[in-house]
Amino acid sequence: MRKNDFSGKMFIFTAPSGAGKTTIVRHLLDKYGVLGFSVSATTREKRSYETEGKDYYFITVEDFKRRIASGDFVEWEEVYHDQYYGTLKSEVDRIWANNQHLVFDIDVRGAKNIKQNYGAKCMSVFVRPPSVHTLIERLINRNTETPESLEKRINKVKREMDYENSFDIVLVNDLLEISFLEAEHIIETFINGLPKA
């Protein structure tokens, strides 16, 4: 296949923090070589287990604002004060140039913006936990947050659950193995018989 014959698609996985979207996305990336992960840019602090350029592009607030002004983002959002997240246009170009379909793991507002910009090229999936109570337990059990940031995340979770019906598909993540199979079906159906890598 010549590169200019490739018509890339996008898969957006979105959810409140702790719903399991990242686990599902990692499974899909491991299974299908024709999927490429869109690495988001952020101004938040890098966590000890994260890798620059693989999990996120970690940039300063000043650089993020400069890139906003330059029109470098497909979408961006200030999630908390001076804590920005966004998708660089260069990421979309990079993945499509590799003849891969994009996979996004982003928050609900960013997901809505990408869906609005790319329409039919996108399949948007809202990953829903079995209950808000289960989700809050998952966030607490992560032990990655300070009490203050945990409270912010819990409040954000409650707001984001209201977006559930704004996306193409709702995937309830109760039993992970079932969620994996459902996510695989979504990928294969949207790409019309995507072969396993």
Kindly report, residue by residue over 100-134, the tens digit of the pLDDT. Answer: 999 999 988 889 999 998 999 999 999 998 888 88
Whether 194 is covered by a domain: the verdict is no
Q: Which pLDDT score, from 0 to 100, does residue 193 have?
A: 55
Whether 110 is covered by a domain: the verdict is yes
Whether 196 is covered by a domain: the verdict is no
Measured CA distances, 51 to 56, 119, 134 (Å)? 7, 31, 28
pTM: 0.83
Phi, psi of 56 (to 5 degrees): -155, 165
DSSP 8-state assignment for residue 196: P
Into how many domains does the chain fold? 1
CATH of the domain at 136: 3.40.50.300
Q: Which pLDDT score, from 0 to 100, does residue 4 have?
A: 46
Whether 83 is covered by a domain: the verdict is yes
Q: Which pLDDT score, from 0 to 100, does residue 5 have?
A: 56
Torsion sign, CA atoms 12, 17, 21, 23:
positive
- Regions of the chain with pLDDT less than 70: 1-6, 193-197
Kindly report, residue by residue over 72-85, the tens digit of the pLDDT. Answer: 999 999 988 899 99
Q: Which of 93, 96, 100, 73 is nearest to 84 (CA)?
A: 73
Q: Which domain holds residue 98?
A: 3-189
